[in-house]
């Protein structure tokens, strides 16, 4: 049985699709998300009680969630794919970057997307304040990512870190922020988007 990727258009599953393709791994895509009632949400909830994507079911039925964990697993399983550097210290830094994005950026996007879940306030203005604060935090975390990891993204041979950085930085006003605050990193992200390892998947996620 091929791997099954639960995902949806414009979501973080794009980064995992890029990785599966880079590693030439066969997979079937199941459209599922908590915000699409007509999707395979019930099936997703059976394997991931959080109902989050990306969720990847491996050949033997093992379920992987958490984009950083999925990308690290694929990189380690397919060392020739270039998803992770082969040199130990460089690999450790890329893993640090992947976990950094998941812990600091992806989490802030969740607050920005669903502020009502992060406050007991029920009024719209109060929830908007939560969203605005989450976005300010998110943008600050991207500044630091740019300063610490920006040169690791290897536009000529992008790997898992570049995939996750490009996908997660598309959301919550991050690109506009980076364009103003970290223009050179912003240009690197655009360069990466045009790379064949990313371009087709990004196009499908935009046009699907």
Ligand X SMILES: N[C@@H](CCC(=O)N[C@@H](CS)C(=O)NCC(=O)O)C(=O)O
Q: Which residues bind ligand X (CB under 6 A)?
A: 11-12, 33-34, 51-54, 66-67, 102, 106, 110
Minimum distance from CB of 183 to ligand X (Å)? Answer: 26
Residue number with CB closer to ligand X (113 or 187): 113
Choice between 11 and 146, CB closer to ligand X: 11
Comparison of 7 and 85: residue with beta carbon closer to ligand X? 7
Residues forming a β-bridge with 64: 56
Residue 63 or 187: the one with the smaller Cβ distance to ligand X is 63
**Rounded to the nearest whole angstrom, what is the least distance from the CB of residue 156 to ligand X in the complex?**
27
**3-state SS assignment for residue 71:** helix
Cis peptide before 136 (omega within 30 of 0): no
Q: How far is the CB of 172 from ligand X (least distance, A)?
A: 11
Apex CA 93: angle with CA 144 and CA 173, to 5°?
35
Helices (H), the chain: 13-22, 41-47, 67-77, 88-100, 107-113, 124-149, 160-168, 174-181, 183-194, 196-207
Name the minimum Å distance from CB 88 to ligand X: 24
Q: CB of 50 within 8 A of CB of 9?
A: no
Nearer to ligand X among residue 34 and residue 140 (C-beta): 34
CB of 199 to ligand X, least distance (A): 20
Q: Which of 142, 103, 134, 104 is nearest to 116 (CA)?
A: 134
Q: Is beta strand 3-7 parallel, antiparallel or unpaired with respect to 27-31?
A: parallel
């Amino acid at each position: 049985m091929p791997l099954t990727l639960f995902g949806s258009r414009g979501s973080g599953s794009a980064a995992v699709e890029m990785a599966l393709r880079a590693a030439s791994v066969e997979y079937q895509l199941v459209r599922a998300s908590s915000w699409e009632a007509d999707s395979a949400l019930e099936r997703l909830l059976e394997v991931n009680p959080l109902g989050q994507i990306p969720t990847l079911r491996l050949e033997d039925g093992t379920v992987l969630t958490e984009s950083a964990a999925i990308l690290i697993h694929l990189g380690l399983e397919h060392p020739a794919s270039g998803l992770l550097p082969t040199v130990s210290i460089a690999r450790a830094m890329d893993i640090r970057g992947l976990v950094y994005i998941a812990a600091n950026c992806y989490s802030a996007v969740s607050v920005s997307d669903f502020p009502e879940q992060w406050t007991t306030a029920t009024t719209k203005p109060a929830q908007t304040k939560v969203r605005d604060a989450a976005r300010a935090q998110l943008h600050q975390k991207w500044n630091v990512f740019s300063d610490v990891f920006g040169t690791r993204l290897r536009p000529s041979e992008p790997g898992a870190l570049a995939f996750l950085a490009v996908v997660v930085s598309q959301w919550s006003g991050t690109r506009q922020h980076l364009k103003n605050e970290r223009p050179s990193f912003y240009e690197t992200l655009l360069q990466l988007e045009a790379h064949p390892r990313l371009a087709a998947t990004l196009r499908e996620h935009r046009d699907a």
